[in-house]
Structure 1
Amino acid sequence: MMSVMRNRNPNTRAAAKEATHERIVSVAARAIRRSGYDGTGVADIMKEAGLTHGAFYAHFASREAMLAEAAGKACAESAATVADMISKVPPAMALESMLNAYLSKEHVQSVEMGCPLAALGSETSRQAPEVRRVATQHIKEMIDLIARQAPDWGQAGAHERALVTLSTMVGSLLLARAVDDPGLSDSLREAAQKHLASASR
């Protein structure tokens, strides 16, 4: 009986540590989108996760390691949202549905849970290599996902249109969030949405 107890306790501790680690990463994934990489401090993350600052190094080797995991979590959440949306509509409507959701007013207002590329794009070039690697991988995946919605997927034209589509989506969302004029914000996203929809037909 005692040997069973001894075997179970390490597993319980490991599971608890893993759950705590995931909680920190989830908090950090929201925080970096809300406040940016440079505006996200270790102490604030740990406090929001309900932990002490000193517990940080039991989970991460460095702040950069945490940021890389947080970026990965944010990218995974974003990709999962898009994949879920695509799965619920006929293939011919997938790209249009993606554009409508991405360039919606709701997405403009949902910085904390929205696309990490638009929330963090201008800061990413100044981050550590492991953070940039995560962003680069997500960009490649999004380009491929968009290209797969084209009738000529696999051809150079589909890939090139996907590059332009993603660039326009992210840039439009970034600008729509940046301005303090609601009318201009709406115009930026609506113009991009209209242009991309017509270009995809």
Structure 2
Amino acid sequence: MPRVSRKQAELNREIIVEAATRLFRERGVHGISVIDVMAAAGLTHGGFYGHFESKEALAQEASSRAFQQSADRWKDWIAANEDKNAARQALIKPYLSAASRDNPGESCPVAAFAGDMCHEAAESGLRQTFMGGLDSLLGTFAPLMDTGDDERDRQQALVQFSLMVGALTLARATRGEPLSDEILDAARSFLTAP
């Protein structure tokens, strides 16, 4: 069988990472096998180890990519608004939407990976990637609190983001039930109230 070109190998790696990023958000890091990822990428299982030394290495890269995608999306939403409160609401409303609930492969990596991180060792690369991504998102969210005090802004961001992640997680767990929409509506209303 002929070897693929360097350009094709780079493209294949990108396809694998994108497939893993989506799948890990949809089903969790530990709920996906290498075979699942390669099938979603449209590639054979045997080619995986030519790109990654382990599933954990792929999970770490895919997790990092998911956090970067979220950070980029958040920055775009913030930039599209004139004041901090409008920007904060521009993050909250889509985060706590039916579309976010129903499309976990495109949604928040914190909600997607938090359950898996409960089982990761503190020193694991995947957990460190999660912690860095979470801290980055909190660092983007905190200045939108605009209390005039950095520590208070951080505390408000922690509370509000925890509510957002919890509400999204519960809405996903109850998807298909009226309670799911109630959870999203209640959290969104609470967080965007004047």
TM-score (norm 2): 0.89
How much does 1:67 deviate? 0.7
| Residue number in structure 2 paired with 1:147 | 142
How is 1:53-92 mapped onto 2 (pairs within 5 angstroms)? Answer: 53-92=45-84
TM superposition shift of 1:100: 0.8
Query: 3-state SS of the aligned residue for 2:145?
Result: coil
Whether the aligned pair in 2 keeps the contact of 1:147 and 1:153 (CA below 8 Å) is: no
The separation in 2 between residues aligned to 1:184 and 1:50, in whole angstroms, is: 37
Contact 1:71 1:135 in 2 (8 A): yes
- Which residue does 1:156 correspond to in 2? 151
The aligned residue for residue 94 of structure 2 is: 101
Counterpart for residue 20 of structure 2: 28
Instruction: Return the offset for 1:43.
Output: 1.2
Q: Can you list the C-alpha shifts for 1:79-131, whole angstroms capped at 9, x where unaligned? A: 21111111112123100111111111111111111111112211122236111
Higher mean C-alpha displacement, 150-159 vs 34-43: 150-159
> 1:153 deviation in Å?
5.4
Q: Residue 33 of structure 2 corresponds to which residue in structure 1? A: 41
Q: CA deviation at 1:40?
A: 0.8
TM-score normalized by structure 1? 0.86
The offset of 1:146, in angstroms, is: 0.9
SS in 2 for 1:148: helix
Contact 2:143 2:150 in 1 (8 A): no
CA-atom RMSD, angstroms? 1.8
Deviations 1:23-67 (A, max 9, x none): 100000011112221221101211221222111111111110011
In the alignment, the residues of structure 2 paired with residue 169 and residue 94 of structure 1 have an alpha-carbon distance, to the nearest angstrom, of: 15
* Counterparts in 2 of 1:181 and 1:155: CA distance versus 1, 3 Å: same
Number of corresponding residues: 188
1:112 maps to a residue whose letter is G
Q: Does 1:17 align with 2:9?
A: yes
In the alignment, the residues of structure 2 paired with residue 31 and residue 197 of structure 1 have an alpha-carbon distance, to the nearest angstrom, of: 31
> Could you list the runs of 5+ residues in structure 1 that have no partner in the other structure?
1-11
Q: Quick one: distance in 2 between partners of 1:83 and 1:39?
A: 30
Q: Taking structure 1 as reference, are residues 153 and 110 closer, same or farther at Cα in structure 2, changes over 3 Å only?
A: farther
Aligned to 2:181: 186
**Which one of 122, 126, 130 corresponds to residue 119 of structure 2?**
126
Q: Is the 8 A contact 1:142 1:166 kept in 2?
A: no
Larger radius of gyration: 1
